[in-house]
Amino acid sequence: MLSILIGHAYFLRFDPKQFERAKPYPPLATLQVAAQVRRAGHEVALFDAMLADGTADFEAQLRAQLPQVVVLYEDNYNYLSKMCLARMRAAACEMTAAARRRGARVLVAGSDPSDDPDPYLDAGAEVVLIGEGLEPLRQLLARLDRDLHAPVEQLCLGLSGIATRVGGQTVRRHDEAAAAAPAPAPVPASVADVSAGRQVLWLGADESPPSAPPRTPVDDVAWDLVDVDRYRAVWRGAHGRFSLNMAGSKGCSFRCAWCAKPIWGNRYQPRDPQAVAAEMLWLRQRLAPDHVWFADDIFGFRADWVRRFAAALAAGGGGLPFTIQTRADLITEAMADALRDAGCQEAWIGAESGSQRVLDAMHKGTTVEELHVARRRLGERGIRVGFFIQLGYLGEEIEDLRATRALIEATRPDDIGVSVSYPLPGTPFHEQVKAQLGAKTHWEDSGDLAMMFQGRYTSGFYRAFRDLLHRQVKLANSNATRDAEAARLRQERTRLRRQWQVLLGREHRHRTPVSGRAGAEQESQPRGVVAGIAAAT
């Protein structure tokens, strides 16, 4: 049996925008892996970076526990981990180096290591898991259990889905390369491990073998390793309620040109809806959240899945209000009914743009009309709607931005999230713009919102456009009950219209030159676009 410290490197304190939002969620994928490693018989501890002060907290835990193996497994459900923020990469590398100095064997997994293993190998990681990495992780831990000091070359023989260093060179081993390598005796996935004398169970699904004891959510997500009360205190202190996260599926089968899928590829893997309902009921009874955030890229996908989920919740006494992510083209009348019946409180839709031309360039597969229809259907059933919006996609012009503003004005979503297009490695979009990328290849944190390729406008212009969109949504959803409040609201709306006129009337001043270094900040006003708008109004 190995002593293993499993952790991740997303520190909320290193992301000022998210720290201010104060909506932290436990690292779901990390906890799932911790549960699987523990079921295999190992002694498991968790380092949860989310609410930690910094990497010094990780080093203190290393000193206290002296683990034989450290697994840095990023939360694949956290979209900010997929974005590979530079500050989090630096933290992961610091943690890797610290673990190696303490003599631990170090394995690393996540979106950024899958895309670019070199920084992690440079920091001292011995093996990087490519993609989800569950099978190579299982094999590596079984081999380390047999021989903790086995050289890396021996550990990796015959394995696929990994990256490591061979003779100073980074080598990615895929199925073909692994098949050609002489492999040691295989380690079975669901039979007795003779050397350790115990049952090894790595299923990654909702089913157990007939002979296995009944499983509870703790067997699949190591909730007992999390300081849930600390999360509860942050949430209640900032928002007066407590939310926890779940997942009913993995992955997404759609092929938007900008969306990276280094972990699950283009597969959509739904769980059994009864098992998902059982997990929610368990969370309600044991951890008592007020709300659940489903971290799926697409929740439910089919109305009949959601109906079975709703029925299982009802049979168990009722679930919890929840928020999901979905697509406009999936919101049929039947889906909207099923979501309402299941307890969906809020649905976030990847709207991206109000311009059909931009949606088609993204290979989004949805229409502007579907956005209007989905917003109406969900709203009629009392479900709040949020729109994710992207600004600055390749080829977007001022007419497309005006169309996005018109979409928000017409549909009046309850909330929006706005970003500029971010070229993630491994995407068609990244291939289109990679020749323009400069030294800045990652945002420092999620509030960066800097253009990293040669878009039509400067980053400052897009930030100003974002701010006005947010104000438009806020004012559209504001109501006044007193005369004085109504007068103030009219003034604010008049001011917003003037600010839109100023920004859009001067948009030509903020266009980037046809040629020039990509990623450069080229503000046409030294004091910035937002200050210029404020001064003009």
Q: What SS3 string covers 270-310? A: ECCHHHHHHHHHHHHHHCCCCEEEECCCCCCCCHHHHHHHH
Q: What pLDDT is stored for residue 537 in this prediction?
A: 52
Query: What does the radius of gyration of the chain's CA atoms come to, in whole angstroms?
Result: 25
Q: What pLDDT is stored for residue 48 in this prediction?
A: 98
**Bridge-partner residues for 172, per DSSP?**
163
Backbone angles phi, psi at 289, to 5 degrees: -75, 160
| CA-wise closest residue to 343 among 314, 316, 315, 371 | 314
The pLDDT tens digits of the residues spanning 123-143 come to: 999 999 999 999 999 999 999
Is the predicted pLDDT of residue 193 greater than 60, yes or no?
no
Distance CA 110, CA 72 (A): 8
Tokens of 313: 């919740």
Is the predicted pLDDT of residue 213 greater than 70, yes or no?
no
| CA-wise closest residue to 107 among 90, 85, 123 | 123
Residues 6+ apart with CB under 8 A from 425: 115, 116, 260, 262
Backbone angles phi, psi at 268, to 5 degrees: -115, 120
Backbone angles phi, psi at 172, to 5 degrees: -95, 125
| Environment class of 286 (CB within 10 Å of its CB; exposed 0-12, middle 13-18, buried 19+) | middle
Residues 6+ apart with CB under 8 A from 223: 26, 31, 217, 283, 286, 287
Helices assigned H by DSSP within 427-511: 428-433, 459-476, 483-505
How far is C-alpha 48 from the chain's CA centre? 16
Tokens of 189: 């996935």
More confident residue, 449 or 104: 104
Is the predicted pLDDT of residue 312 greater than 70, yes or no?
yes
- Please check whether residue 403 is in contact with residue 391, taking contact to mean a CB–CB distance below 8 angstroms: no
Is the predicted pLDDT of residue 201 greater than 50, yes or no?
no
Helix (H, G, I), strand (E, B) or coil at 43: strand
Is the predicted pLDDT of residue 212 greater than 90, yes or no?
no
Distance CA 358, CA 474 (A): 25
Q: Where would I find the beta strands (DSSP E) of 122-186? A: 127-129, 162-166, 169-173
* CA dist list (Å): 104 to 63, 69, 118, 184, 270: 11, 5, 19, 23, 36
> What's the whole-model pTM score?
0.88
State the DSSP H helix or E strand holding residue 348, giving kind and residue range, or none if neither: strand 344-352
Mean pLDDT in the chain? 89
- Please check whether residue 512 is in contact with residue 456, taking contact to mean a CB–CB distance below 8 angstroms: yes
Give the residue-averaged pLDDT of 274-287.
96
| CA-wise closest residue to 217 among 275, 290, 167, 141 | 275
113-117, 233-237, 264-268, 497-501: least confident range:
264-268
Is the predicted pLDDT of residue 496 greater than 80, yes or no?
yes
Tokens of 206: 């909702």
115-129, 185-199, 424-438: least confident range:
185-199
- Write the DSSP symbol of residue 427: S
Give the residue-averaged pLDDT of 311-338.
98
